[in-house]
Structure 1
Amino acid sequence: MISLELARRLAHDAGVLWEPATGDRFVIDTANLADEVFWISNLTIEPQHFADQTVLGFNGTTEWALDSVSLDQSLWLPREDQLRALLGDRLESLRRVGDGWQVTYAAGDGTRHTLTDSDVECAYARALLTL
């Protein structure tokens, strides 16, 4: 799973926007809850739209004293397929190298770059951060 540090950098430094959808993972980015990973599901947590704001509504979760949390309090933890989609046509290859994953991708100027990380989602995220 992508690290919180990389997820924060994607959101804040790279400006990656999140459109919450069923199956997405996220944390509530506060010291007390950052270790708790949540998944959006039509049964328990769902995006709710009010005027120009989206909040994540917690439905029937008695173990949490939460009704909803705003997107600016949440940190999206994109999955491998979502990170691949964000790289789009720039992604050239992914291959296993020893204990890690090697991602080769093209930059906007046509140069090729290769990054290696022990976690495939982190490798994709690092590639996105260089674009």
Structure 2
Amino acid sequence: MISLDLARRIVHDAGVLWQPAAGDRFVIDAELLTGQVFWVSDLTVEPQTFGEQTVLGFNGTTEWALDSVSLDKAVWLPREDQLRGLLGDRLESLMRTPEGWEVTYAGNAGSRHTVTDPDVECAYAKALLSL
């Protein structure tokens, strides 16, 4: 799974905006809750819009029901397929190496770059951040 630090950087450094959808993972960015991963689901956590603000509404079926949390307090943990989608046509290859997962992607002016990480999602995130 992508690290919390890389997930934060995808939003702050790369400027990726999250539109919550069923199946998305996230953490609540509060010291006591960052170790708890939540999933957006039609049954337990649903995106709800009030005016122009989207919040994540927690239904009463969770162990301890929250009312809601605003998106600025949630950190999206993108999945492998979502990170591949964000890389788009720049993604050239993914290969398993003794050091981990190697992602090769096209940079500016046709240059090729490679990043490696033991976790495939972290490797994709590092590639995305380097663009």
SS of equivalent to 2:26: strand
The residue number in structure 1 matching 2:67 is 67
Cα distance, 1:76 vs structure 2: 0.1
Provide structure 2 residue ranges, at least 5 long, that are not aligned to the other structure: none
State the 1:30 CA deviation: 0.8
| CA distance in 1: counterparts of 2:62 and 2:92, whole angstroms | 45
The secondary structure found in structure 2 opposite 1:128 is helix
Q: Which residue of 2 aligns with 1:16?
A: 16
Write the distance in 2 (CA, Å) between the matches of 1:88 and 1:20. Answer: 20
Cα distance, 1:63 vs structure 2: 2.2
Give the distance between the partners of 1:77 and 1:7, measured in 2 at CA: 6
The number of equivalent residue pairs is 131
Q: How does 1:25-104 map to 2 (within 5 A)?
A: 25-104=25-104
| In 1, Cα distance between equivalents of 2:109 and 2:99 | 30
Identity over the aligned pairs, expressed in percent? Answer: 74
What's 1:116 paired with? 116
What one-letter code is carried by the residue in structure 2 that aligns with 1:48? Q
Distance in 1, matches of 2:74 and 2:9, equals 14
Compute the TM-score of the two structures, normalised by the length of structure 2: 0.97
Query: TM-score with structure 1 length normalisation?
Result: 0.97
